[in-house]
Amino acid sequence: MHAFKQDDTPHPAPGRRSFLIGAPACLLALGSLSTGTRAAEPQHALPTLPYPIDALDPVLSASTLGHHHGKHHKGYVDNLNRLLTGTELAGQPLENVILRSASQPAQAAIFNNAAQVWNHNFYWQSLRPKGGGEPPAELKHRLDEAFGSVAACKKELAAAAMAQFGSGWAWLVADGERLRVVRTSNAELPLTQGLRPLLTVDVWEHAYYIDYQNRRADYANAVVDRLINWEFALENLHRRS
């Protein structure tokens, strides 16, 4: 379990029951904070990073994390709280907000901001200092079955990050019992497609431009090789709806 320590064209919602992914305490902080009698308190809060702000250096600098987490991620949280005020979705857990606003044109702004809050929360947990390397044996076996090898999986994940036109995300997901790599545009995420996210790589420019400028390929390869959190992927593989 990864506890936090420091510090933007949706699909129909799936018929299956929504599931929680990632560190439960973090998702509770994002999606289920009770305002109690303090009506002015925002429902959704910006979580702290699960590692020191400089812990991913030199792959991702403290400057990148400071801007990405403290400005972009925080902006989505603040926008979401403002947009939810006085709506039927106010007071709902984050996943409910996402699934109920998906494919609803009148609620596109709510969906985009809610999904970006969820995506960023998941992204921070998909990385860890001194990550990459060999996955745990159980996950390695599943990756070998699905892709032929761990190296082939990493190559496909980085290629998906590079191939995404414009802003978006590359994901390792479980599609039933099958593991595969998918990519989504803008704020879209696998939850609305009935897929179980295991890992993600953010390919919005704000994720890498301070450190890599237009060299997205260098960023994607470095993240997959040196920061990817295989243990988090295995936790998500075990988590059931």
pLDDT tens for residues 160-174? 999 999 999 999 999
pLDDT at 150: 97
pLDDT at 39: 46
Complete DSSP assignment for 49-108: BSS-TTTTTTTS-HHHHHHIIIIIIHHHHHHHHHHHTTSTTTT--HHHHHHHHTT-GGGH
For the chain, list the domains and their CATH numbers. 24-126 (1.10.287.990), 137-238 (3.55.40.20)
pLDDT at 23: 40
pLDDT at 126: 98
User: Is 68 marked as a binding-site residue?
Assistant: yes
pLDDT < 70 stretches in the chain? 1-42, 240-241
User: Is 175 marked as a binding-site residue?
Assistant: no
Task: Report pTM.
Answer: 0.83
User: Is 69 marked as a binding-site residue?
Assistant: no
User: Is 11 marked as a binding-site residue?
Assistant: no
Q: How far apart are the first and last CA of the chain?
A: 17
8 touches 204 (CB < 8 A)? yes
